[in-house]
């Protein structure tokens, strides 16, 4: 088939592009902006257009008729490419429908990694483990990887490992062979208006899974039916820094045990050598790290990991989405106490309600117990000089957020 992906630079669509190409389909697509994933796709020979006014889609369809238009959940209903695809009579769907087609066509057993936090790292760990054990793997992970592409299809594989996102209720379109639940905390209010909607969705997902591995607290939180679940109580002692990494690795270890992949000692050795995933406590340079975290629990977990590596940690934090901040403002409390100093940037705005007032850094900081070590900051020379000074003093600088902070740091450090 000839498939067009709209929004192919995103973490949901990008890996799917690589999977479709591996499966023998002809691929092209577009995005509004360049990203690490668009660069990766170009290097692999995928035709990528920056710009989505519809002209590239029309020209591509006229040259070779497009069979399927796959688009990201972030695309609005009045998007130029989506409207044009309808006018041209092209089959359209979101990513879940296309992935379900691949799974059925290739007869793959789905290993789904779901949860509020830790999905990307846990998916990366599962992929890494399969590779280290010499087991053919097909997968989709929501980031770039140092040890492979973001998405892959291997015709010799029995399993498909999928970072199964709850946003837009995507994960409810699947019935996994095995699901790993990393953690559950209310999130995505634009999809789930209240907490019970969120927990109900996870309970439905667990019910749809043939088997689930889940932590005791999460099973209790969503009132999961435990008849088809393996409920975990304790984190295994594994050779990885960071308590959240050890918890994620425990899930993967138990999955390997359930699937009968290898001896426990071989699994532990492989996971102990896990190199991590991009944007998850990723080392950019000496004493300089980048992390995607933007939820209070993610912040606390990543700072705990940083403090295992250094006694002095400086955090540069960019909150993500005003709507998200409106909901979690009261949750900011003592998460930042493990940082010697925190530099708080304005919120990165995305998919905002124009009727909601934008919360300022001062308002978001107001609930913190350690306000005296938190400073309002802006991108620019002053902040970069502060980062450089901290690094020169031997402090670990952690730049955290899901917005523009990562690209800013990389450009400055180039």
Same domain as 182, residue 263: yes
Same domain as 404, residue 296: yes
Q: Which two tokens stand for residue 43?
A: 């290097």
Beta strands in 121-222 (DSSP E): 138-140, 151-152, 159-163, 178-181, 212-215
Q: What is the CATH number of the domain that holds 300?
A: 3.90.190.20
Domain termination site, one of 31, 64, 93:
93
Same domain as 250, residue 192: yes
Same domain as 260, residue 158: yes
Residue 326 lies in a domain: yes
Residue 147 lies in a domain: yes
Same domain as 44, residue 131: no
Q: What is the CATH number of the domain that holds 164?
A: 3.40.1190.10
Evaluate whether 266 touches 369 at the Cβ level (below 8 Å).
Answer: no
Q: What is the CATH number of the domain that holds 16?
A: 3.40.50.720
The 8-class DSSP code of residue 81 comes to H
**Span between the terminal Cα atoms of the chain, in Å:** 40
Parent domain of 286: 282-413
Residue 386 lies in a domain: yes
Task: Determine how many CB atoms are found less than 10 A away from the CB of residue 312.
Answer: 16
Same domain as 117, residue 75: no
Domain termination site, one of 30, 64, 93:
93
Same domain as 223, residue 319: no
What is the distance between the alpha carbons of residues 404 and 384, in angstroms, rounded to a whole number? 14
In tens digits, the chain (414 residues) has pLDDT values of: 999 999 998 888 999 999 999 999 999 999 998 887 898 889 888 999 999 999 999 999 999 999 999 998 888 899 999 999 999 999 999 999 999 999 999 999 999 999 998 899 999 999 999 999 999 999 999 887 888 888 999 999 999 999 999 988 999 999 999 999 999 999 888 889 999 999 999 999 999 999 999 999 999 999 998 898 999 999 998 988 888 899 999 999 999 999 999 999 999 999 999 987 777 889 999 999 999 888 888 888 899 999 999 999 999 999 988 877 877 777 788 889 999 999 999 999 876 777 788 999 999 998 888 888 999 999 999 999 999 999 999 999 999 998 899 999 999 998
Residue 191 lies in a domain: yes
Same domain as 303, residue 262: no
Evaluate whether 369 touches 347 at the Cβ level (below 8 Å).
Answer: no
Same domain as 255, residue 132: yes
Residue 277 lies in a domain: no
Q: Which two tokens stand for residue 82?
A: 């989506």
Same domain as 268, residue 167: yes
Domain termination site, one of 93, 117, 148:
93
Same domain as 353, residue 392: yes
Same domain as 11, residue 31: yes
Number of domains, the chain: 3
């Amino acid at each position: 088939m000839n498939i067009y992906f709209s929004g192919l630079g995103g973490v949901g669509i990008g890996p799917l592009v690589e999977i479709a190409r591996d499966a023998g389909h002809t691929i092209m697509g577009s995005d509004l902006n360049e990203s690490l994933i668009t660069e990766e796709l170009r290097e692999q020979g995928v035709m990528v257009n920056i710009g989505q006014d519809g002209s590239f889609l029309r020209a591509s369809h006229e040259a070779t008729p497009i069979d399927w238009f796959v688009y990201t959940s972030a695309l609005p209903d009045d998007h130029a490419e989506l409207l044009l695809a309808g006018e041209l009579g092209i089959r359209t769907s979101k990513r879940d429908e296309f992935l379900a087609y691949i799974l059925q066509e290739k007869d793959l057993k789905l290993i789904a990694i779901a949860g509020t936090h830790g999905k990307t790292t846990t998916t990366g760990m599962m992929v890494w483990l399969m590779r280290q054990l010499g087991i053919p793997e097909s997968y989709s992970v929501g980031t770039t990887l140092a040890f492979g592409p973001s998405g892959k299809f291997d015709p010799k594989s029995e399993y498909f490992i999928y970072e199964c996102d709850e946003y837009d209720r995507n994960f409810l379109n699947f019935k996994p062979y095995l699901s790993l639940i990393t953690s559950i905390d209310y999130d995505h209010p634009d999809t789930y208006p209240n907490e019970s909607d969120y927990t109900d969705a996870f309970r439905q997902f667990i019910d749809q899974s043939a088997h689930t591995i889940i932590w005791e607290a999460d099973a209790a939180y969503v009132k999961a039916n435990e008849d088809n679940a393996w409920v975990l109580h304790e984190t295994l002692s594994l050779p990885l820094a960071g308590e959240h990494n050890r918890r994620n690795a425990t899930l993967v270890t138990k999955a390997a045990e359930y699937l009968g992949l290898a001896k426990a000692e071989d699994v532990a050795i492989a996971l102990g050598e896990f190199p991590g995933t991009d944007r998850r406590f990723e080392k950019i340079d000496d004493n300089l790290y980048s992390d995607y975290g933007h939820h209070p629990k993610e912040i606390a977990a990543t700072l705990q990991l940083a403090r295992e590596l250094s006694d002095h940690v400086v955090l540069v934090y960019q909150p993500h989405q005003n709507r998200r901040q409106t909901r979690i403002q009261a949750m900011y409390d003592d998460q930042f106490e493990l940082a010697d100093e925190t530099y708080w940037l304005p919120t990165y705005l995305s998919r905002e309600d124009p009727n909601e007032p934008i919360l300022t850094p001062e308002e978001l900081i107001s609930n913190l117990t350690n306000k005296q070590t938190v400073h309002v900051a802006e991108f620019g020379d002053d902040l970069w000089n502060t980062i450089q000074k901290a690094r020169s003093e031997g402090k670990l600088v952690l730049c955290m957020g899901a917005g523009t902070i990562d690209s800013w740091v990389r450009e400055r450090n180039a």
